[in-house]
Amino acid sequence: MNHADLVAKVATHADLSKEAAGNVVEAVAKAIVESLHAGEEVRYSGLGIFDVSERAARQGRNPQTGEAIAIAASKAARFRAGKGLKDALNGPAAKPAPKAAAKPAAKAAPKKK
């Protein structure tokens, strides 16, 4: 799904014009980016959590020459799926069947003569 497809779906589900839906999608994306830039995490119940992962500076190697190179520290956006999203994709986790109560041993039937 690309940006235009997302806008079309939002417009259909929210009964909005495509222009209004496009403004909503842009506003949500902008709000998420601004919050992450400020160091805040964004929690969307049922969907998941957006947060920032910091990567330390490290030494790497150029695979063609084998020369050591310095890789600068960086930040990356991270998304962790929430339970609602996982359940939507996989179905709710199957609950184990309850264990049957232990039945007392049955008395032996009397022998027939």
Domain layout of the chain by residue ranges: 1-40, 49-92
Quote the mean pLDDT of the chain: 89
pLDDT at 80: 96
110 pLDDT higher than 80: no
pTM, two decimal places? 0.69
Average pLDDT over residues 37-47: 94
71 pLDDT higher than 70: yes
Question: Would you say 78 and 51 are in contact if contact means Cβ atoms under 8 Å apart?
Answer: yes
CATH topology of domain 49-92: HU Protein; Chain A (4.10.520)
